[in-house]
Structure 1
C-alpha cells in the first residue's frame, strides 16, 4: 500500500520536472481610466492553469506549450473578458475591463474567505465539482475527497445522520457558515446536515479552510472551516429537474427554477427537494424535504438579496451502533452482552438473529428523530467606490423538533411522578413512550467594511452579534400504566441562552512586489446561561462569560506568477459545549480550550497541473477530551488535558496527462498526541475509581494517514469516467491507544460515470452513475466505547457503525 501511495504522489509530481516552451504575459486595466487592476484573475480555460495580476496590473503565465488557448480575465465589479490566442512563440496580451452592470454575488463572502495571498491553507470546491458528486447524499459525502477529510453515516449509506472530521477534529470543532452566517448549533456546536437536505443543490462554491483559517463568525475553528456560498443567479431563465434512484430504495427528486436577470436588475431562484432512503442499517430510514428561495436586486454598485431555505427530516434512529460481539458473530459474546445489559427476550432475539453488519437495537415503530429548521437571510452589499465597500446581513433561524423513544421499565420517580396505586398497591415502574424536544431561535447581524487604501494596502473591519434562545423539554405521550401526567405536559423544562459578539480587523500589505504580509485580529465575547431542569430533572443555574482574543499573522512570497510560499501563525480560543457545562460537577465550569496553529506551504500552477504542499503544527492547551470520568449522576464528561498536539503534512495535486486522462490526488499524514492522559475507570466491585496513566497516546478518531487518488478518463466529448480510491488508517475510539478499542484502517474504491449532451429544447442532459465501495469492503468509519471494572476484570463495551457494501446511485438531470 505504501509503495502504491508513493508511486501515485510521484506521478503527480512529474510535471514539476517538465520544461516550458513559451510565455504569455500582459496587463489588465480599467477601460475608461486605464488604471491598472491588481489582483485580477487570469485563467486558461480547459486546463488547470491560472494566475493573478501584481500590484501594477501585470501578469505572466510560464511553461505554455504550443497550441490554441482561451484566456479568461475576471475582477470583482467588472465584466469577465475572454480572448482566444494561438501560441507558437512568447505572447503579450492586454485586457481592458468594462465595469459590470451589476455587483457580483461573490462580494458577500469575500471578507471571510482566504486567497492565494492569505498565508492560510484552503481548498476551493466549485459548483461544477459539487454537481458532479451530488447524488443526494449529505454534503459531507460530496466533499469527502478533499484533503484530511473523513466522513461517516449512522445509517451507512450517506443519507440521514452523517458526520465529518477534518484533521481528526469532529463537527463541534469545524466552523460552518452559509453566506458568512454561522450554521453550527450554539449549544452543541455541531452542524446537522440532516436538517439541510439536498442543500448542495443550492450551493455556488465551498471553501474548506484547514486549521484556524481566517476570522469568521461563530465558534472558533479548531480543525477547519466550511465557508459556503449559496448559488448565484444565472443570466438567463432556466428550469432543472434532478432525479436519483439507487440502492436501499434511495430516491432524490429536485426541481429548480430561475428567472435569470429581469431588466438586468432582478432575479428569482427556487428549489424544491425530496430525499428518501431505507438506509443500509435495519430500519435506518430517512424522509427528508427541503426548499430554497432567493430573490435579489442587482444594482451597479449594490446588491440586495433575500434567501430562505428550510428543511424537515424524519429519521429512524440508528445512533446506537452495532456491539462488537454482534459485528464479529461471537455468540458467547452476545449472550454475555445480553446478560450484562439485561436485555429482554425480544431484544435478545433481535441481537442474536440480525445481520451482523445491519443490526439496529431499536425496534419500536416510531423510534424517529423529527426536526424542522427554517433559515432567513437578508444580505446587502455596497460598492461605494473603487476603494471602499460594505456587506452585511440580518438573519433568523427557527428550529423545532423532537426524538421519540420507547423506554422499558421506567421508574415514575425518575420523571418526577408519584407512583400510581392499583388494587391498593403502589406501581413503581412502567413501559412508556417519551419525546425530548428542542425548540430554538437564532438571530443576529453580520457585517464587514473593506477599504483599499492603496494598490498594496487593504483593510477589512467586520464582526457579528448573534443571540440564541433554546428551550429543552420532555413529554410522555404513552404509558402502559397511567400516571398523573397529561400527554402535553412537560416533565422537565430547561433553557439555554447564549449571546455571541465578535469584531475583527484585517490588513494585507505588500511592501515589496513579491512579498505580501497580513494581520488578522479578532475579539470575541460570549455570555451563556443554562437554567431550569435537564432531562434527569436536576436543576441548573449556570452562568458564564468568556472573552477571547484570536490573532493571526502570515506572509506570502510570490516566486513567479505560478508559484508561492506562505506561512502563518494563529491563536484560537473556544468555549465548551452544553454537555461540558451540564455534566460538570456542581460549582465547576469547563476551562476554555486554546489552540496555537502554525502553517507553512508551497503552491504551484503550470500548464495542465497544480500542486500544493503544506506542513502544520496545532498545539492545544486545555483541550476537552473524554477521560472515562463520570459526573455525580453517572454521565460521561469531558475534561481538559493540559497539552496535546497535531503535527502533519498535506499534499494536494492535479495533473492533466492528455485530453483523455487526468490524475487527482491528496494525502494527509499526521501525528496526533496527548502529552499525558489519565483514564478514569469505574470499579463497580467496591464503588471506587481506577486511574490509569498514559504517556503520549494518540488522540481519539485521528488517523495517521488519509490518502485519496483519482483517475479521470474522458474518451469522448461530454463523457467522463472517474475511478477513486481512499485510504484511512486505523483510529482509536478513546485516548488510551488500545488495540482492543479501535477502528481498523480501510481502503474504499468508488467509480463515477457521467455523460452530458444536449438537443433541441434541452440545454443539457446528464446521466450519472455513482458506484460506491465497488470491491465490497467491510469497514466501519465510526464508533464509541466505554469501560468499567466488575467481577475483578475490565469490561469494554465497543460499538461500531458499519458502512454499506457495494451500492449504486443512478441520476438523470435535465436543464431547460
Structure 2
C-alpha cells in the first residue's frame, strides 16, 4: 500500500511539473490600424480564460495548450487568431488589427446604456429602423435631420417648404406631438403641447451617432406615449481615440456651412473631451426664407474605473430663419412655386414679417455604474433653457399694406408682397409717431421661453441567466413663459397697448387699462437668450405655466436562445397650473391646479424558429394625460371640461428573416386612439371679408382649429429589406400600406391668431381619412461601389393616399400621388499613413427629375364647391376650369421642393 501511495505521489508531482513547464504566455497588441484599442477583450476559445488589453492595447494571457484566441471590441468585428504554446516561454502574436463593423449597433452607445432605450437592448423584437452616423452625414446635406428618415416605412416628412427647420414628422399617421422623441434617453417633446421644432436641432446631423425609429409600441421603458412610435437620437460622447474633422458644404440658394470638430481621446487617467462648432446660412429655397445659425457641442468624459463611467455634454443650435406660410394653389400658379408673401422691402432693404428665432441649450450628465456582474445603474440628469419665439404683425389689419400685382394665372389683380415703405410712411405721419391698434402697424415677437429640468434613472438586474428586471424613475419640472414684445416699430416712436382685465369666473371687469411701450428687441437668438424686455414693455399677453411630472417604470424580460417575452408597465402623475399676469387682476392671476394620473402597460413575446426565422407579437395600452395647452380653454385660466385622459390600444405582430446577405422584416399593426384632442392650424389667405362665426377676417389672418373627443383607428402592413447582391452592390427597399381613419363624432373649435373663439360645432367624422401623411408608400434604393472609396447611390420613393391636414373631417381631400428620386456620389481619398486620415467628397441631388407635386394641403375645398361662398352665380371651381391635377386651386398648402443640390468636402484626421 505504501508503494502504491508513493507511485501516486510521484505521478502527481510529475504532472504538476509538466503542466508548469508546458504553460506559456501569449502576448500582443490590439489596434484598429490607426491606434490602440484599450479595453479590448481577449479570450481563449472554449475556456473561461480571458484578459483585457491595457491602455496601449497590449495584452498578456496564460495558456497551457495551443488553441485559438477570440479578440473582440465594441464596434469591431471579432477576430480569431491561432496560437501555439512555447513551453515556459512567451509567444508574441504581434499587432492584431480589428476591422470596424458598421452593422453593429453597440458602437453607437458609449454612455447611458441603461436609459437609452434601443431595440437591441431588449431581445423581444419591435418594428424598428436604425440610421447610423455615416448615412446621416451622407444624406442630410442642407436638409433638416428629419430628411434622413424618409426611406423608412410609415414615416412621412412634411413642412419643408416652410423654411429652414420647419419640417414635421409623422409615424404611422400620427403627428410628431404623438410620437416620443428622446435624446440620449432624455425626452425632448414639448411639455406644453408635445411638439418638436427641428430648427432647434439643426446641429443634430453633426453630433448624432445614430437615429433609431421604433414604430408603434417601441422599446422605451419610460412613462411616455409612443402612439406613433419612439425616435431615439443618440449623440456622440467623448471618443476613445484622438481625432476630428473639418468640413465645408455648399448648396443651392447661396447656402454654405462650415464645421470643425476635435476629440482628445481618453487619457491614461481616464479623462477626455470632444467638441464641435459650426456655422450655416442660406437664402432658403422659397422666397423670403433666409436663415442663419450656429451649432455647438461639448462632451467631457471620465472613466474612473471599471465600475464608474461619467459623461457631461452640452449642445445647442441658436438660429433665426424667415418663414413661408401656406397659400392658395392659384397664388403659386400665378407667381411661381417659390412664392411667399411674408416679406417686403423698406428703403430697398429686405424685411421679413415672419421670423422664427430660438436658442435652446441642452445639457445632460450621465453616470453608468456597474454595481456588480449582475446589477447596473444608469442615470441621466438633464436641463434645457429655451429663449426666443416668432414674429408677426400687430395692430389693425387695415394698417397692414400690400403691393398689388396682376396674377397671370387668374387674370385678376391681387395683393402680394408687404409694402413696408407705405407702412413706414403711415406710421411716421401719426402725431408724435404714437401708434395704437386702430391706426398703426408694427412687427411683434411672440416669446416662448422655458426652463426644464429632469432625471431618468434605471436599475437593471440580471436575476438569472435568462431573466432580467429593470426598475426606474422619470422626474421632470418645467416652467414656460409666454409674452409679446415689439421687434420693430416700423417708424413709430411708441405704441399704446390696451387691455381689459378678467376677474372671478374669468369675466372681464372694470375699465380698460393701457400702457405705452417704446422699447424693442430684434429677433436674434443670442440676444434673446441673454436679454429680456422689461415687464412694462410687454404687449398683448403675458402668462406662464408650471408642469411637474413624476413617473415610475419597470420591465421584466425572459429570454433564451429561441424564446423571449417581456412585460413593461409605468405610471405617472402630471401637475399643471397657469399664471396670467396680463389679462387678470392680480388676485385672480393663478389658475386652478390640475392633476392627472396616467399609466401604460405593454407586453410581448417572440419565438425563433430557426437561425434565420423569428416571429413576435406585442400589445400595449396607454392611458395618457392631455397636454397642458388642451387643459385650459382658449388661453385663459378656465379649465377645459371636455378634456380627459386619452386611451390608446395597440397590437402588432411581425416576422423577421436574417441571413448573411439578405434581411427582411414584415410588420402588422392596429392602433386605436380614443378621447384624443387634436390641434392643427391653417393660414387663411383670402380677400378681406370672409366670416367665421360672427367674426370677419382679414387677408392673411391665421385661424387655429381644434378637434375634441376624436377617435382614430390606424392599421397597416410594413415591409423593409436589405440585400447585399455583390460585395460592391447593396439594395434596400420598403413598403407601407395603411388605413388611417377617424371614428364617430368630434367637436370642432376655431380661434383666431389672438386666441379669440370664432366657432364651435359638432361634426360627424366617421370614416374620414387622417391627413398630413401618405398612407401608402413604396421605396427602393441601391448603392454601388465602383472602386474602393468611390460609390454612387440612389433612392426612389412613391407616395399615395395622401390627404389634407384639416383635422377630423368625414370627406377629406385626397392629393395626387407623386414620385421622388434622390441620388448621390461619394469619393473617399485616403491621405497620410493612417486609415482614419481621409478626405471625403459628397454630392447630393434631391428630386433628380424635378417632380412638381403638392406635399401638403391645409384646406378641404372640392372642385364642385363654389368659388365664392357669397355669390353662387360665379360658379364652381370645376365650371370655371380652376382645377390643378384634380384639385380646386383655391386650396391652401405647399408645393414640395423642386430639384436641389449640395456639395460637401470633409477632412478626417
TM-score (ref. length: structure 1): 0.79
Aligned pairs (5 A) from 1:655-804 = 655-678=723-746, 693-733=764-804, 734-735=806-807, 741-760=813-832, 763-785=837-859, 790-791=869-870, 798-804=891-897
**For the residues of structure 2 that align with 1:164 and 1:424, how far apart are their CA atoms?**
44
> Post-superposition shift, 1:741?
3.8
Aligned pairs (5 A) from 1:233-632 = 233-263=238-268, 265-298=270-303, 299-318=305-324, 320-329=325-334, 354-363=335-344, 365-367=351-353, 368-407=355-394, 409=396, 428-477=438-487, 478=489, 480=492, 482-483=495-496, 484-487=516-519, 488=533, 489-491=537-539, 492-510=541-559, 513-532=561-580, 541=591, 543-583=593-633, 586-589=638-641, 590-625=643-678
The question of whether the paired residues in 1 share the 8 Å contact of 2:630 and 2:640 is answered with: no
> Post-superposition shift, 1:379?
0.6
> Post-superposition shift, 1:777?
0.5
The question of whether the paired residues in 1 share the 8 Å contact of 2:558 and 2:564 is answered with: yes
Q: Given the superposition, is the C-alpha separation of residues 792 and 568 from structure 1 closer, same or farther in structure 2, using an over 3 Å criterion?
A: farther
- Any idea what SS the aligned residue of 2:396 has? strand
> Post-superposition shift, 1:783?
3.2
> Post-superposition shift, 1:113?
2.1
The question of whether the paired residues in 2 share the 8 Å contact of 1:529 and 1:544 is answered with: yes
Q: Given the superposition, is the C-alpha separation of residues 72 and 638 from structure 1 closer, same or farther in structure 2, using an over 3 Å criterion?
A: farther
Deviation by residue 1:384-414 (Cα, 9 ceiling, x = unmatched): 22100001011111110132223452599xx
**For the residues of structure 2 that align with 1:571 and 1:631, how far apart are their CA atoms?**
39
> Post-superposition shift, 1:244?
0.9
**For the residues of structure 1 that align with 2:900 and 2:109, how far apart are their CA atoms?**
41
Aligned pairs (5 A) from 1:12-23 = none
**For the residues of structure 1 that align with 2:436 and 2:726, how far apart are their CA atoms?**
81
Match of 1:163 among 165, 168, 186: 168
**For the residues of structure 2 that align with 1:613 and 1:764, how far apart are their CA atoms?**
39
Q: Report the equivalent of 1:812.
A: 905
Q: Given the superposition, is the C-alpha separation of residues 577 and 792 from structure 1 closer, same or farther in structure 2, using an over 3 Å criterion?
A: farther
Moved more, 563-572 or 231-240: 231-240
**For the residues of structure 1 that align with 2:907 and 2:580, how far apart are their CA atoms?**
52
Q: Report the equivalent of 1:118.
A: 124
> Is 1:152 aligned with 2:184?
no
Moved more, 786-795 or 667-676: 786-795
The question of whether the paired residues in 1 share the 8 Å contact of 2:721 and 2:733 is answered with: yes
Moved more, 559-568 or 537-546: 537-546
> Post-superposition shift, 1:222?
1.4
The question of whether the paired residues in 2 share the 8 Å contact of 1:785 and 1:798 is answered with: yes
RMSD between superposed Cα atoms in Å: 3.8
| Greater RCO (Cα-Cα under 8 Å, separation 6 or more) | 1
**For the residues of structure 2 that align with 1:665 and 1:144, how far apart are their CA atoms?**
12
Q: Given the superposition, is the C-alpha separation of residues 495 and 36 from structure 1 closer, same or farther in structure 2, using an over 3 Å criterion?
A: farther
**For the residues of structure 2 that align with 1:375 and 1:137, how far apart are their CA atoms?**
22
- Any idea what SS the aligned residue of 1:201 has? helix
Aligned pairs (5 A) from 1:26-175 = 34=47, 81-83=78-80, 105-109=110-114, 112-115=117-120, 117-155=123-161, 159-175=164-180
- Any idea what SS the aligned residue of 1:440 has? strand
**For the residues of structure 2 that align with 1:680 and 1:409, how far apart are their CA atoms?**
27
**For the residues of structure 2 that align with 1:713 and 1:454, how far apart are their CA atoms?**
46
**For the residues of structure 1 that align with 2:693 and 2:460, how far apart are their CA atoms?**
48
- Any idea what SS the aligned residue of 1:185 has? coil
- Any idea what SS the aligned residue of 2:147 has? helix
**For the residues of structure 1 that align with 2:693 and 2:482, how far apart are their CA atoms?**
20
List runs of 5+ in structure 2 lacking aligned partners.
1-40, 51-68, 83-97, 99-106, 346-350, 400-429, 497-515, 520-532, 683-691, 698-702, 751-757, 878-887
The question of whether the paired residues in 2 share the 8 Å contact of 1:677 and 1:697 is answered with: no
**For the residues of structure 1 that align with 2:185 and 2:617, how far apart are their CA atoms?**
25
Q: Given the superposition, is the C-alpha separation of residues 631 and 651 from structure 1 closer, same or farther in structure 2, using an over 3 Å criterion?
A: farther
> Is 1:648 aligned with 2:716?
yes
Q: Given the superposition, is the C-alpha separation of residues 518 and 111 from structure 1 closer, same or farther in structure 2, using an over 3 Å criterion?
A: farther
Q: Report the equivalent of 1:201.
A: 206
TM-score (ref. length: structure 2): 0.71
- Any idea what SS the aligned residue of 2:593 has? strand
Q: Given the superposition, is the C-alpha separation of residues 598 and 759 from structure 1 closer, same or farther in structure 2, using an over 3 Å criterion?
A: same
Q: Given the superposition, is the C-alpha separation of residues 169 and 71 from structure 1 closer, same or farther in structure 2, using an over 3 Å criterion?
A: farther
> Post-superposition shift, 1:150?
1.1
The question of whether the paired residues in 1 share the 8 Å contact of 2:669 and 2:717 is answered with: yes
> Post-superposition shift, 1:34?
4.8
> Post-superposition shift, 1:429?
3.0
The question of whether the paired residues in 2 share the 8 Å contact of 1:651 and 1:667 is answered with: yes
Q: Given the superposition, is the C-alpha separation of residues 379 and 631 from structure 1 closer, same or farther in structure 2, using an over 3 Å criterion?
A: farther
Q: Given the superposition, is the C-alpha separation of residues 192 and 387 from structure 1 closer, same or farther in structure 2, using an over 3 Å criterion?
A: same
Q: Given the superposition, is the C-alpha separation of residues 608 and 689 from structure 1 closer, same or farther in structure 2, using an over 3 Å criterion?
A: closer
> Post-superposition shift, 1:106?
4.9
Q: Given the superposition, is the C-alpha separation of residues 104 and 81 from structure 1 closer, same or farther in structure 2, using an over 3 Å criterion?
A: farther
List runs of 5+ in structure 1 lacking aligned partners.
1-27, 38-69, 86-94, 96-101, 330-353, 413-419
> Post-superposition shift, 1:679?
7.3
Larger radius of gyration: 2
The question of whether the paired residues in 1 share the 8 Å contact of 2:291 and 2:319 is answered with: yes
- Any idea what SS the aligned residue of 2:471 has? strand
- Any idea what SS the aligned residue of 2:284 has? coil
Higher strand content, 1 or 2? 1
**For the residues of structure 2 that align with 1:80 and 1:553, how far apart are their CA atoms?**
33
Q: Report the equivalent of 1:11.
A: none
Q: Report the equivalent of 1:225.
A: 230
Deviation by residue 1:554-583 (Cα, 9 ceiling, x = unmatched): 001012233311110011233333442344
**For the residues of structure 1 that align with 2:694 and 2:590, how far apart are their CA atoms?**
14
> Post-superposition shift, 1:671?
0.5
